[in-house]
Amino acid sequence: MRVLGIDPGTAIVGFSILDFENNRFNVIDYGCIYTDKDMPMEDRLCKIYSELTEIIKKYSPSEKNLLPHPLPGSSYSISKIIRQ
């Protein structure tokens, strides 16, 4: 099983691609998507969407997981970001 894990944010989005086989996780790739703090929010979200779409196309994960936690120092909650 291939898993895409996402650590959400608007300035930095972390991601990891893991394979789970024989009760073990193997790291395939990981990284961050960065957006400029001066970009309008809609442009930041478009960039995040675009780059995550490319990651999904490249690795074809069978599972996708979002790590739910509030965004430190931000008035945005995850649910507000997703609704936008």
Confidence of residue 83 (pLDDT cuts 50, 70, 90): very low
Residue 52 in contact with residue 13, Cβ under 8 Å?
A: yes
**End-to-end distance of the chain based on CA atoms, in angstroms?**
30
Q: Put residue 23 in one of left, alpha, beta given phi > 0 → left and psi -120 to 50 → alpha.
A: left
Query: For 17-61, how does the pLDDT look when each residue is reduced to its tens digit (9 = 90+)?
Result: 988 889 888 999 999 999 999 999 999 999 999 999 999 999 988
> Is the pLDDT score of 70 beyond 80?
no
Q: Rounded to whole angstroms, how far apart are CA atoms 63 and 2?
A: 6
